[in-house]
Protein backbone atom coordinates (compact mmCIF):
# COMPACT_ATOMS: atom_id res chain seq x y z
CA UNK A 1 0.00 0.00 0.00
CA UNK A 2 1.42 3.41 -0.95
CA UNK A 3 1.07 6.45 1.19
CA UNK A 4 -0.85 9.34 -0.32
CA UNK A 5 1.40 12.33 -0.85
CA UNK A 6 0.45 15.96 -1.17
CA UNK A 7 2.34 17.88 -3.78
CA UNK A 8 3.36 21.49 -3.25
CA UNK A 9 0.97 22.54 -6.05
CA UNK A 10 -1.94 20.72 -4.36
CA UNK A 11 -1.05 22.37 -1.07
CA UNK A 12 -0.93 25.81 -2.73
CA UNK A 13 -4.31 25.16 -4.34
CA UNK A 14 -5.78 24.20 -0.98
CA UNK A 15 -4.45 27.40 0.61
CA UNK A 16 -5.76 29.49 -2.28
CA UNK A 17 -9.29 28.41 -1.49
CA UNK A 18 -9.02 29.64 2.08
CA UNK A 19 -8.36 32.93 3.76
CA UNK A 20 -5.68 33.65 6.28
CA UNK A 21 -6.10 35.77 9.37
CA UNK A 22 -2.70 37.43 9.16
CA UNK A 23 -0.39 38.11 6.25
CA UNK A 24 3.05 39.32 7.35
CA UNK A 25 4.92 41.62 4.97
CA UNK A 26 7.86 43.99 5.09
CA UNK A 27 9.43 44.99 1.81
CA UNK A 28 9.96 47.85 -0.62
CA UNK A 29 9.50 48.92 -4.27
CA UNK A 30 8.68 46.20 -6.82
CA UNK A 31 10.27 43.68 -4.53
CA UNK A 32 7.30 44.42 -2.30
CA UNK A 33 6.78 41.42 -0.14
CA UNK A 34 9.41 39.28 -1.92
CA UNK A 35 10.96 37.05 0.66
CA UNK A 36 9.22 39.01 3.36
CA UNK A 37 6.30 36.81 4.14
CA UNK A 38 4.73 33.64 2.96
CA UNK A 39 1.27 34.92 2.04
CA UNK A 40 -0.28 37.86 0.16
CA UNK A 41 -3.97 38.55 0.48
CA UNK A 42 -6.57 40.97 -0.86
CA UNK A 43 -9.86 41.75 0.78
CA UNK A 44 -12.22 43.91 -1.31
CA UNK A 45 -15.87 44.78 -1.77
CA UNK A 46 -17.54 46.34 -4.81
CA UNK A 47 -20.52 48.54 -4.13
CA UNK A 48 -21.12 48.56 -7.90
CA UNK A 49 -21.69 44.79 -8.18
CA UNK A 50 -22.30 43.84 -4.55
CA UNK A 51 -19.49 41.30 -4.79
CA UNK A 52 -16.82 40.64 -2.18
CA UNK A 53 -13.49 38.88 -2.48
CA UNK A 54 -11.19 37.80 0.34
CA UNK A 55 -8.42 35.98 -1.42
CA UNK A 56 -4.93 34.66 -0.75
CA UNK A 57 -3.31 35.12 -4.16
CA UNK A 58 0.37 34.42 -3.46
CA UNK A 59 2.09 31.84 -1.28
CA UNK A 60 5.82 31.36 -0.80
CA UNK A 61 6.95 32.93 -4.05
CA UNK A 62 4.14 31.71 -6.30
CA UNK A 63 1.13 33.61 -7.59
CA UNK A 64 -1.90 31.32 -7.45
CA UNK A 65 -3.45 31.43 -10.92
CA UNK A 66 -7.06 30.57 -9.92
CA UNK A 67 -6.95 33.28 -7.24
CA UNK A 68 -5.51 35.82 -9.70
CA UNK A 69 -8.25 34.91 -12.19
CA UNK A 70 -10.92 35.49 -9.55
CA UNK A 71 -9.40 38.87 -8.68
CA UNK A 72 -9.26 39.75 -12.41
CA UNK A 73 -12.97 38.99 -12.68
CA UNK A 74 -13.77 40.94 -9.52
CA UNK A 75 -11.85 43.99 -10.79
CA UNK A 76 -13.51 43.87 -14.24
CA UNK A 77 -15.10 46.87 -15.92
CA UNK A 78 -18.51 46.61 -14.26
CA UNK A 79 -20.09 48.83 -16.91
CA UNK A 80 -19.20 46.53 -19.84
CA UNK A 81 -18.47 43.30 -17.90
CA UNK A 82 -15.09 43.08 -19.69
CA UNK A 83 -12.35 41.24 -17.80
CA UNK A 84 -8.66 42.08 -18.18
CA UNK A 85 -5.56 40.73 -16.45
CA UNK A 86 -4.67 42.94 -13.50
CA UNK A 87 -0.94 43.52 -13.15
CA UNK A 88 0.25 41.55 -10.09
CA UNK A 89 2.47 44.51 -9.11
CA UNK A 90 -0.68 46.56 -8.53
CA UNK A 91 -2.12 43.75 -6.42
CA UNK A 92 1.10 43.65 -4.39
CA UNK A 93 1.00 47.42 -3.76
CA UNK A 94 -2.64 47.14 -2.69
CA UNK A 95 -1.95 44.17 -0.42
CA UNK A 96 1.10 45.70 1.25
CA UNK A 97 -0.68 49.04 1.74
CA UNK A 98 -3.72 47.37 3.28
CA UNK A 99 -1.48 45.56 5.75
CA UNK A 100 0.06 48.88 6.81
CA UNK A 101 -3.40 50.31 7.48
CA UNK A 102 -3.90 47.71 10.23
CA UNK A 103 -7.59 47.24 9.57
CA UNK A 104 -9.88 44.31 8.94
CA UNK A 105 -12.11 46.49 6.75
CA UNK A 106 -11.92 45.51 3.08
CA UNK A 107 -11.01 47.91 0.34
CA UNK A 108 -14.04 49.38 -1.39
CA UNK A 109 -13.16 49.03 -5.08
CA UNK A 110 -14.47 51.97 -7.10
CA UNK A 111 -12.58 51.25 -10.30
CA UNK A 112 -10.20 48.52 -11.41
CA UNK A 113 -9.93 47.65 -15.08
CA UNK A 114 -11.60 50.13 -17.46
CA UNK A 115 -12.35 49.36 -21.08
CA UNK A 116 -11.32 52.06 -23.57
CA UNK A 117 -15.04 52.82 -24.08
CA UNK A 118 -15.62 53.34 -20.36
CA UNK A 119 -12.50 55.45 -20.03
CA UNK A 120 -13.60 57.66 -22.96
CA UNK A 121 -17.06 58.10 -21.41
CA UNK A 122 -15.57 59.04 -18.02
CA UNK A 123 -13.06 61.35 -19.69
CA UNK A 124 -15.90 63.18 -21.44
CA UNK A 125 -17.50 63.79 -18.01
CA UNK A 126 -14.38 64.74 -16.04
CA UNK A 127 -11.06 66.44 -16.67
CA UNK A 128 -9.49 64.16 -14.01
CA UNK A 129 -9.53 61.06 -16.22
CA UNK A 130 -6.32 60.40 -18.15
CA UNK A 131 -6.52 59.69 -21.90
CA UNK A 132 -4.06 56.78 -21.50
CA UNK A 133 -5.21 55.73 -18.04
CA UNK A 134 -3.38 52.80 -16.49
CA UNK A 135 -6.83 51.45 -15.61
CA UNK A 136 -7.12 50.43 -19.30
CA UNK A 137 -3.99 48.29 -18.92
CA UNK A 138 -5.10 46.62 -15.69
CA UNK A 139 -2.43 48.51 -13.76
CA UNK A 140 -4.51 50.75 -11.49
CA UNK A 141 -7.23 50.73 -8.86
CA UNK A 142 -9.32 53.42 -7.17
CA UNK A 143 -9.97 52.45 -3.56
CA UNK A 144 -11.25 53.57 -0.20
CA UNK A 145 -11.19 51.97 3.24
CA UNK A 146 -13.86 52.56 5.87
CA UNK A 147 -12.36 54.17 8.94
CA UNK A 148 -9.28 55.43 7.08
CA UNK A 149 -8.87 58.80 5.40
CA UNK A 150 -7.72 59.32 1.83
CA UNK A 151 -4.46 60.68 3.27
CA UNK A 152 -3.90 57.58 5.42
CA UNK A 153 -4.49 55.23 2.48
CA UNK A 154 -2.28 57.34 0.21
CA UNK A 155 0.56 57.45 2.75
CA UNK A 156 0.42 53.66 3.08
CA UNK A 157 0.69 53.28 -0.70
CA UNK A 158 3.47 55.88 -0.98
CA UNK A 159 5.53 53.96 1.58
CA UNK A 160 6.48 51.43 -1.09
CA UNK A 161 7.74 53.93 -3.71
CA UNK A 162 6.41 51.46 -6.27
CA UNK A 163 3.97 53.39 -8.46
CA UNK A 164 1.54 56.25 -8.75
CA UNK A 165 -0.58 57.40 -5.82
CA UNK A 166 -3.36 59.92 -6.32
CA UNK A 167 -5.40 61.55 -3.56
CA UNK A 168 -8.98 62.38 -4.48
CA UNK A 169 -10.16 63.79 -1.15
CA UNK A 170 -13.25 65.45 -2.66
CA UNK A 171 -14.43 62.08 -3.98
CA UNK A 172 -13.08 60.12 -1.00
CA UNK A 173 -10.78 57.66 -2.79
CA UNK A 174 -7.14 56.89 -3.39
CA UNK A 175 -5.69 55.83 -6.73
CA UNK A 176 -2.89 53.22 -6.72
CA UNK A 177 -1.00 52.00 -9.77
CA UNK A 178 2.21 50.20 -10.72
CA UNK A 179 3.31 52.85 -13.22
CA UNK A 180 6.09 55.39 -12.67
CA UNK A 181 6.50 56.62 -9.10
CA UNK A 182 4.58 59.88 -8.74
CA UNK A 183 1.96 61.50 -6.52
CA UNK A 184 -0.84 64.02 -7.09
CA UNK A 185 -4.00 65.40 -5.55
CA UNK A 186 -4.86 66.64 -2.14
Distance, in Å, from the CA atom of 155 to the CA atom of 149, rounded to the nearest integer, reads: 10
| pLDDT of res. 37 | 58
**1 in a domain, yes or no?**
no
**109 in a domain, yes or no?**
yes
| pLDDT of res. 55 | 95
Q: Which residues of the chain register pLDDT less than 70?
A: 1-37
Contact assessment for residue 40 and residue 16, using Cβ atoms and an 8 Å cutoff: no
Q: How many domains does the chain have?
A: 1
Distances (CA, A) of 168 to 137, 174, 175: 21, 6, 8
Q: What are phi and psi of 160, to 5 degrees?
A: -85, -15
Q: Which domain holds residue 121?
A: 8-185
| pLDDT of res. 1 | 47
Nearest to 64 by CA among 42, 36, 93: 42
Amino acid sequence: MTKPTMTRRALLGAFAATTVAAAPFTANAFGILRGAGDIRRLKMHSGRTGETVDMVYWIEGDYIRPAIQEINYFMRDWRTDQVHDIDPRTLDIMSASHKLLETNEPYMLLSGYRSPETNAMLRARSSGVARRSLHMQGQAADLRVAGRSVSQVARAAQTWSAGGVGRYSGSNFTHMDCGPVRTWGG
